Amino acid sequence: MLISFIAAVAFIALTIGVFNDAQFVMQIDTVADRWFTPLRTRAWSRFFSVVTFFGSVYGVGLVSLAIAILTHWNLGVIEFGITAVGGSAVVAQLVKVFTARIRPEHLPWRSRELEYSYPSGHSAAALTLYGMLALFVILFGTVPAVIFGAIYLLIILFVGVSRIALSVHYASDVLGGYLLGIAFLALAVGIFG
């Protein structure tokens, strides 16, 4: 529960910074924007559009359904997932309305995202869902399962990167999504052990 508390406090601090256009938030976003500018091409956009699917409602829904089926509808796994993924999704949507942060300038060859920017729901969903899978396979799996755990961690990283590279989120949006995801994943671990 301590990790959940620390992540929640960090998320609240970042949210206040985003809401007040704090200098540290602007610095994070400016530095990241310079790093990601070379990746904002049509070719990279095709790649990152595939990657970002894994954090979308459809991607998370399909993976969640597969988990439910593969675990034979295990109630504990489903409750864990609803707490982590569902909890972070609800809070992310509420905070988006509160902060009302406009998204970055969109790439001309991509359609504009309609919701507000902060926090990144894709990043929060990816961290909670694939973080849950990584925990399960690393804690309960064999050596090959640890490889899958590493793959899940890479998916988390790449979903966040894809959101910045596609110019649909600022880096601070992704960081906020990750902090929110950590808070809810750690909360679910604390509740369900």
Q: What is the DSSP string of 75-100?
A: HHHHHHHIIIIIHHHHHHHHHHHHH-
**Distance between CA atoms of residues 35 and 21, nearest Å:** 21
- The answer to whether 7 and 186 have CB atoms below 8 angstroms apart is yes
**C-alpha pair distances (Å), 18 with each of 2, 101, 102, 118, 188:** 24, 8, 11, 8, 26
Identity of the residue numbered 65:
L
Q: CA quadruple 37, 41, 45, 51: dihedral positive or negative?
A: negative
Q: Which range among 15-19, 73-77, 156-160, 172-176 shows the weakest confidence by mean pLDDT?
A: 73-77
**Distance between CA atoms of residues 169 and 106, nearest Å:** 9
pLDDT-derived band at 140 (thresholds 50, 70, 90) equals confident
- What backbone phi and psi angles, to 5 degrees, belong to 13? -60, -45
Whether the pLDDT of residue 170 is over 90: the answer is yes
